[in-house]
Amino acid sequence: MTARIRTLLWVVTFTVIVGLSVPWFLWGDPRTAAGLPVWLWWHIGWMGLASAVFYLFTRTDWDRYMGVTNG
Amino acid sequence: MAELSLQLGIVVGYLLLALGIGLIAYRVTENVAEDYYLANRSIGTLVLLFTTFATLLSAFTFFGGPNLAYAQGPEWILVMGVMDGVLFAILWYLIGYKQWLIGQQEGYVTLSEMLGDRFGSTRLRGLVAGISLFWLFPYVMLQQMGAGEALTGLTGGAIPYWAGAALITAFMILYVVIAGMRGVAWTDTIQGLFMLSVVWIAVAWVLSAVGGPSGATAALQSSNPEFLALGSDFYTPAYIISTAVVIAFGVTMFPQINQRFFVAGSDRVLKRSFVLWPVLVLLLFVPTFLLGTWAAGLGIEVPEGANVLPVLLSEYTPAWFAALVIAGALAAMMSSSDSMLLSGSSYFIRDLYRPFVDPTLSESREAWLARGGVAAFATGTFIASLSRPGTLIEVGNTAFGGFAQLTLPVMVALYWQGTTRDGILAGIVGSQILYLSHVFIPEIAVDLAGTAVPLFARTYGGWDVALAGMALGALLTVGVSLLTTSAADEDDSRFVVGAD
């Protein structure tokens, strides 16, 4: 995988993480599950996913974009 | 009366605990500016995470936010998640980590110092510090107003508003003056952990009385079914996006947050904090805002001028616990204000007083002067808070928007070596003028070919004008940089890191 594609993948990943933190596709949806709105469950799960993606980023390319060579 | 003294005892006991921690920190703090402001760049993960987190929290977490959720539904949880959980975390990396690397290399203590040095411009340094202090002042005032109201509410008016605000101000001055960044970071950590625990206990207590989350939500379903559906006339996509973007970008330029980018002991500390952000944000804001929302379904009546959370708790929990939550709320306000005082004072002394008044200022004298600055700043905001201009959220949002204007010019400078002094000056001044004019000039409608077009409105079609200011700042910084050449005393190698 070339560096450029890898960078592009990160940009897309982070954009999706930000963009879907709010479940726009559930707009106006009043359903609840286990006492909480379904959209809130989505958000809770999504924040967990964000945290996992952030972890992956710190383990891989965190230093790469700052020009730090020795990590 | 017994109840009142119990409540006061809890609050004062809490304040004394914070002071005690400050004293311990004082014993290990050396009397030089870098240690006073930055705890010698030695802060670990837990403390950095919580000191930044606690600093982000404010009167809004316990009062403004739950009040909004009570009146409009719980969607602010989403705003918080996007804003503090995700966007801020990414900026934490893009701005924070970069600044940390530069700070390690060049030894900067403030943002203005870093920019002034890079662009060889004392004027730029003074300008950034001046703008920051201008927006910081109302925000500190807001915290004092919140504290005054909280104590008045807790004691049913036995402590007047001014006395509550004065008490908190006095305690903050005392322990910030004594302890510096190390003490502030330690107390923030205790306060952050304390707030989290208290909030979850509160949720458990209220829910056990009303039949769990399903019971509370069922009550809401019959009283305010519209709260459960995502979005409303109030929570429009434009509102959610504007608020989240403006505040997330604004937060990074708040002096007390920005200065934390310099204090981490190692890059591992920054990485771990970055990973934990989204989870920490959930852990605090889901329960506080849900409590506010559920209160609407439980038939809680909030008197005019009061806050929903204390009213709800006094209904479902014993008085001592409600007092603990108020202490938690005071902790939230103090932990943001103490850091703001410390950073505000460092901006003033380091970037305005030293370069423009006394260039020969020594490091140890600077550390003493900084303490005087803390006291003066806090006293000033306290006096201003007595006349209570504007509502909490209005004042707060203006400050976030004002800081957000700085973010993009700074990011351009951090990542693009082609940025020139004229470019960044144009970006900063241009965006501030645009935003300030919209904040201070009343909205007028201009007739344009038969249709009324609003001018100087705070929002256009639901979108915050701060976003336009941010875009203008970025465009001016890049555009003017392209049209001008850098002066001889600019040093673009200052922001090049690595290769070590």
User: What tens digit of pLDDT does each residue of B234-282 get?
Assistant: 999 999 999 999 999 999 999 989 998 998 888 888 999 899 999 999 9
| Residue A8: HSE in the Cβ half-sphere, 13 Å Cα cutoff | 5
Q: Is the pLDDT of residue A21 over 50?
A: yes
Domain total of chain A: 1
Selection from B175, B199, B201, B207 nearest residue B188 by Cα: B175
Measured between CB atoms, does A43 come within 8 Å of chain B?
yes
Q: Say if residues B98 and B256 touch (Cβ distance below 8 Å).
A: no
Closest Cβ opposite residue A66 in set B231, B290, B497 = B497
The predicted pLDDT at position B391 comes to: 45
The predicted pLDDT at position B392 comes to: 43
Q: CB within 8 A of B412, min separation 6: which ones?
A: B419, B423, B424, B427, B474, B477, B478, B481
For tokens 């002094």, the residue is B421
Query: B51 versus B394: which is more confidently predicted?
Result: B51
Region A44-68 average pLDDT: 91
**Position B498 confidence tier, pLDDT thresholds 50, 70, 90:** low
Selection from B322, B36, B325 nearest residue B185 by Cα: B36
Residue of A nearest to B276 (CA): A51
**Position B80 confidence tier, pLDDT thresholds 50, 70, 90:** very high
**Position B1 confidence tier, pLDDT thresholds 50, 70, 90:** low
The reply to whether A20 falls in a domain is yes
Lowest mean pLDDT among B85-94, B313-322, B392-401: B392-401
Residue B452: what are its φ and ψ, rounded to 5°? Answer: -80, 120
Tell me the pLDDT of chain B averaged across its residues.
87
Domains of chain B and CATH, by start:
2-390 (1.20.1730.10), 416-485 (no CATH)
Q: Is the pLDDT of residue B296 over 80?
A: yes
Residues of A in contact with B93 (CB under 8 A): 57, 62
Region B375-400 average pLDDT: 74
Q: Is the pLDDT of residue B336 over 90?
A: no
**Position B390 confidence tier, pLDDT thresholds 50, 70, 90:** low
Residue of B nearest to A35 (CA): B214
**Long-range CB contact pairs, B438-443, < 8 A, 24+:** B438/B465, B438/B469, B439/B398, B439/B401, B439/B402
The reply to whether A44 falls in a domain is yes
The reply to whether A71 falls in a domain is no
- Beta strands B444-448 and B451-455 are antiparallel
Closest Cβ opposite residue A18 in set B87, B279, B286 = B87
Q: Is the pLDDT of residue B383 over 70?
A: yes
The residue length of chain A stands at 71
Q: Which residues pair with B446 in a beta bridge?
A: B453
The predicted pLDDT at position B190 comes to: 83
- pTM of the model as a whole: 0.91
Q: Say if residues B99 and B258 touch (Cβ distance below 8 Å).
A: yes
Count how many pairs of residues, chain A against chain B, have C-beta atoms within 8 Å.
Answer: 111
CA separation for the pair B138, B342 (Å, rounded): 15
User: What tens digit of pLDDT does each residue of B169-218 get?
Assistant: 888 888 788 877 888 888 888 888 888 888 999 999 999 999 899 999 99
Range of the domain at A35: 3-66
Region B471-494 average pLDDT: 91
Measured between CB atoms, does A68 come within 8 Å of chain B?
yes
Best mutation target, B105, B224, B275, to test chain A (most A CBs within 10 A): B275
Q: Is the pLDDT of residue A24 over 90?
A: yes
Lowest mean pLDDT among B27-36, B113-122, B265-274, B284-293: B27-36
CA separation for the pair B404, B465 (Å, rounded): 11
Whether residues A22 and B89 touch (CB distance < 8 A) is answered with: no
Q: Which residues pair with B43 in a beta bridge?
A: B264
**Position B397 confidence tier, pLDDT thresholds 50, 70, 90:** low
Lowest mean pLDDT among B26-30, B49-53, B206-210, B258-262: B26-30
ipTM exceeding 0.90, yes/no: yes
Whether residues B499 and A26 touch (CB distance < 8 A) is answered with: no
Q: Say if residues B112 and B128 touch (Cβ distance below 8 Å).
A: yes
Residues of B in contact with A44 (CB under 8 A): 282, 286
Residue of A nearest to B215 (CA): A35
Give the count of beta carbons closer than 10 Å to the beta carbon of residue B197. Answer: 12
CA separation for the pair B145, B388 (Å, rounded): 7
Closest Cβ opposite residue B81 in set A28, A36, A47 = A47
